[in-house]
Every structure is written in structure tokens, then in C-alpha cells.
């Protein structure tokens, strides 16, 4: 049986009274979301659970659907275990609405700390930082700004001062993310019962910081095998990490996707326009700039007129943004389908009565 200490290691606030449970029920935290179920953690082990139809499709819309970070009660007698009810959320981090019908996507709930990581290299972009901070503002989640790669930057002092004066109420650390001593202000905020998330663009240093917080090198692959409560091996995606400092870190795919939402313009100092101009000279109008004959971009890369590193980086961000946009669209479609089903059900009930 998990103890209060075990639950604290996955973020149950110290001293918070436990909910009343019926015989056999268990308090768990949602750590991952899949097409047809959830990963839940009881402080000792992870397992799969599903939520009964009514619970997911309930008429309150997206905001009351179970999300990563939610505390929930499960009935483990079923296989997979069934979610019985959600406990009220303390707070949540969500991504705003995009199109007309696109509702809101919850990234994670019940958070204490959001660390926004930004590199003191090409990643440095105060406006983007501001956008991340705007997501956090007003949620009650404490923000911390990490300016990474300070060990590689010549004018750390000036850049740090710039960020500090723009955000006087938020702690700013300018550090080497690999430096275990430098992250003390973060570990101090992630003691037992506390939950953190890392936000920031690709390459900012989130994985590096995560590894330093873990005190070990965690593999980039996210699937690990864990024992569930019946002693079986289950493969779960590891989106909640227990930290040596006593608290935990949520690192779910949803958090990762926040890197770029699919709605943002990739800030590129006119690089996209430069590419577009070059591409006008490609032989084929729909050139993918891969191995097509007469590709002007490939030619520019070969001649050195176009910087290959910069190009590769740009393409990486672009494909990330595309993937995020596709996922957002899939989400949108599912939300619309649910709405249609609900509307149809209501019409049937109106016509034939509930049965
Ligand atoms: N010198 C130095 N290198 C760093 C620092 N932080 C990150 N790096 C390096 O920068 C590169 C990218 O860092 P990651 O930690 O993988 O970045 P990330 O934010 O996890 O990127 P994604 O996984 O794409 O989201 C790696 O090669 C790191 O070793 C730092 O503070 N100092
Ligand atoms: Zn081309």
C-alpha cells in the first residue's frame, strides 16, 4: 500500500487531507494520456486505467476531461482499472483557443512550479519568453526563468539584467544546465508534494536540466518498463519523474508540444523569406528540396551560399510546428465529433425519451 510519503513523491501536497475512499478504491495521479486510456501512478507504480464513457464525454467539455496531473480515484477491481471520479484541481496550465471551434487543451494540472528555459544563444528571445510567462500568469503556478548555456555566453550579465528588469517579480537563473550546484534554487522549490514542469523551445536545455534534476542521465527514450501493483511488467511512457529532491516533474508529450503550438510564426530573421526566394528558382514548383533535379536550395547548400546548420535547424522547427498543428487539428476534430454525438443523443432523448 502506498504511504503518504509515496503520494508526496508524486505531488500530493503535504498535510492535505486524503479523500474518502470506498473499500478497494485507490487514490492515483494521471501521468499519461493515450487514445483509449490513461497511465496512473499511485506513488509506487504505474498502471493503465480507462475512464468510463460518461466521464470523458460529460457535457462540461474539454475542461473537465481527465488530464495529466489530475488526482483521481480508481476502482482497481476492473482490468484495466476504471476511473471513478476526479478530485478538484488546484490549477491548470492550458493552451488557448485557436480557431472558431477549437476549445482549450489542458497541458497539465495541479502544478506548483513552471520553469521556463531559454538559451543565452540563438534561442534568446524575450518576446517568446513573454508568451510562455503569459500562459502561466494568473494560474497560481510559480514561474522561474532559466537562462541556459551561461557557460557559453560572453554577455550573460547584460542579457540577464535585461530579463530581470522586464520581469522584476520572477526569479532569473543564468546557469549551465549541467551544473548540479547551479540548479539548487529549482530543487529547493521541488521538495515533497511539489510538481514542476519545464517549458521552452527545442534545444533550450530542458532535457539537460531534467537530467541534472534527476541526478543521473536519463535516456531520451521515453518508454520504460515498470512493475504494476500485481507485479507484472507494464510498459508506460514515463511522463512523471520522481526527483531526488522529493517532488516530481511532469514531462508529458503534451508539455513537449508546447515548444511550438502550430499557431506561432517561427522567428527566423527573414530566413523563411530567403528560402522562398531561392526556391523560386527550383525546377519544379512543388519541389521538396530533397533529391529533385534542379533544386536551387540543394545547390545553395552545396555551394555554401546557404548555411547548412541554420537550414537544418529551421527545417527541424518547421516539422515540429507542422506536427503540432496536425495534432491540434486531430484534437479539434475529436472535440467536434463528440459535440455532434452529444447533440444527436439529446435529440433522440427529446424524441423518444430517456431509456
Ligand atoms: N554548454 C551548455 N550546453 C547546454 C546547456 N543546456 C543545454 N545544452 C546543450 O544544448 C543541447 C540541447 O539541449 P537539450 O537539453 O537536449 O534541449 P531540450 O530543450 O531538451 O530540447 P528538445 O528535446 O528538442 O525539447 C544539448 O547538446 C545540450 O548538451 C548549458 O547550460 N550549457
Ligand atoms: Zn528545391
pLDDT tens for residues 171-218? 999 999 999 999 999 999 999 999 999 998 888 999 999 999 998 655
Confidence band (pLDDT; 50, 70, 90) for 280? very high
Q: For ligand 1, atom 27, which residue shows the shortest CA distance?
A: 203
- Rounded to two decimals, what is the model's pTM? 0.70
- Residue 228: pLDDT above 50? no
Give me the helix-helix angle, 296-303 and 308-352, nearest 10°.
140
Note the pLDDT of residue 227.
Answer: 47
Rounded CA separation 73/85 (Å): 5
Q: Could you please state the CATH topology (level 3) that the domain comprising 271-352 is classified under.
A: Ribonucleotide Reductase Protein R1; domain 1 (1.10.40)
* Burial classification of residue 287, based on how many CB atoms lie within 10 Å of its CB (0-12 exposed, 13-18 middle, 19 or more buried): middle
Of all residues in the chain, what percent carry a pLDDT higher than 90?
Answer: 44
The residues, any chain, with a CB within 8 Å of residue 86's CB and separated by 6 or more, are 55, 64, 66, 70, 71, 72
If one compares 49 and 127, the residue with the highest pLDDT of the two is: 49
If one compares 257 and 284, the residue with the highest pLDDT of the two is: 284
Tell whether 150 is in a known binding site: yes
Does 25 contact ligand 1 (Cβ within 6 A)?
Answer: no
Q: 205 C-alpha vs ligand 1 centroid, how far in Å? A: 3
Confidence band (pLDDT; 50, 70, 90) for 77? confident
Most confident of 12-16, 22-26, 145-149: 145-149
Return the CATH class of domain 4-86.
mainly beta
Does 206 contact ligand 1 (Cβ within 6 A)?
Answer: yes
Of all residues in the chain, what percent carry a pLDDT higher than 70?
Answer: 80
If one compares 328 and 13, the residue with the highest pLDDT of the two is: 13
Most confident of 36-40, 101-105, 140-144, 215-219: 140-144
Domain-wise residue ranges, the chain: 4-86, 92-257, 271-352
Tell whether 201 is in a known binding site: yes
* CATH label, 92-257, candidates 3.50.50.60, 3.40.50.970, 3.40.50.300, 2.60.40.1120: 3.40.50.300
| Contact between residue 22 and residue 13 where contact means Cβ atoms under 8 Å apart | no
Q: For ligand 1, atom 1, which residue shows the shortest CA distance?
A: 149
User: Probe ligand 1: pick from 197, 208, 255, 316, max atoms within 8 Å of CB?
Assistant: 208
> What value of ipTM does the predicted structure carry?
0.95
Note the pLDDT of residue 289.
Answer: 92
Most confident of 198-202, 217-221, 244-248, 263-267: 244-248
Tell whether 295 is in a known binding site: yes
- Residue 11: pLDDT above 70? yes
Amino acid at each position: 500500500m502506498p504511504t503518504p510519503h509515496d503520494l508526496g513523491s508524486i505531488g500530493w501536497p503535504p498535510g492535505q487531507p486524503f479523500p474518502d475512499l470506498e473499500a478497494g478504491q485507490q487514490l492515483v495521479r494521471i501521468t499519461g494520456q493515450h487514445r483509449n486510456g490513461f497511465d496512473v501512478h499511485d506513488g509506487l507504480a504505474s498502471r493503465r486505467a480507462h475512464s468510463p464513457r460518461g466521464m470523458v464525454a460529460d457535457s462540461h467539455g474539454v475542461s473537465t476531461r481527465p488530464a495529466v496531473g489530475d488526482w483521481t480515484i480508481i476502482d482497481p477491481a476492473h482490468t484495466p482499472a476504471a476511473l471513478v471520479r476526479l478530485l478538484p484541481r488546484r490549477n491548470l496550465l492550458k493552451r488557448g483557443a485557436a480557431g472558431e471551434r477549437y476549445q482549450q487543451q489542458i497541458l497539465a494540472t495541479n502544478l506548483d512550479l513552471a520553469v521556463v528555459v531559454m538559451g543565452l544563444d540563438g534561442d534568446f528571445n524575450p518576446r517568446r519568453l513573454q508568451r510562455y510567462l503569459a500562459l502561466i500568469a494568473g494560474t497560481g503556478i510559480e514561474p522561474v526563468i532559466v537562462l541556459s548555456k551561461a557557460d557559453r555566453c560572453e554577455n550573460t550579465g547584460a542579457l540577464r539584467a535585461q530579463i530581470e528588469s522586464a520581469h522584476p517579480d520572477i526569479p532569473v537563473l543564468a546557469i549551465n544546465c549541467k551544473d548540479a550546484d547551479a540548479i539548487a534554487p529549482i530543487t529547493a522549490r521541488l521538495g515533497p508534494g511539489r510538481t514542476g514542469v519545464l517549458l521552452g523551445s527545442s534545444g533550450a536545455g530542458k532535457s539537460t536540466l531534467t537530467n541534472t534534476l534527476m541526478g543521473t542521465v536519463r535516456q531520451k527514450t521515453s518508454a520504460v518498463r515498470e512493475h504494476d501493483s500485481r507485479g507484472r511488467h507494464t510498459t508506460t511512457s514515463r511522463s512523471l519523474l520522481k526527483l531526488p529532491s522529493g517532488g516530481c516533474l511532469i514531462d508529458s508529450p503534451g508539455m513537449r508540444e508546447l515548444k511550438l503550438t502550430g499557431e506561432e510564426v517561427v522567428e527566423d530573421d527573414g530566413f523563411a523569406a530567403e528560402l522562398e526566394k531561392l526556391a523560386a528558382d527550383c525546377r519544379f514548383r512543388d519541389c521538396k528540396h530533397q533529391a529533385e533535379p534542379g533544386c536551387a536550395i540543394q545547390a545553395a547548400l552545396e555551394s555554401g551560399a546557404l548555411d547548412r546548420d541554420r537550414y537544418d535547424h529551421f527545417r527541424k522547427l518547421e516539422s515540429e510546428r507542422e506536427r503540432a498543428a496536425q495534432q491540434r487539428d486531430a484534437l479539434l476534430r475529436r472535440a467536434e465529433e463528440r459535440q455532434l454525438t452529444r447533440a444527436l443523443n439529446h435529440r433522440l432523448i427529446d424524441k423518444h425519451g430517456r431509456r
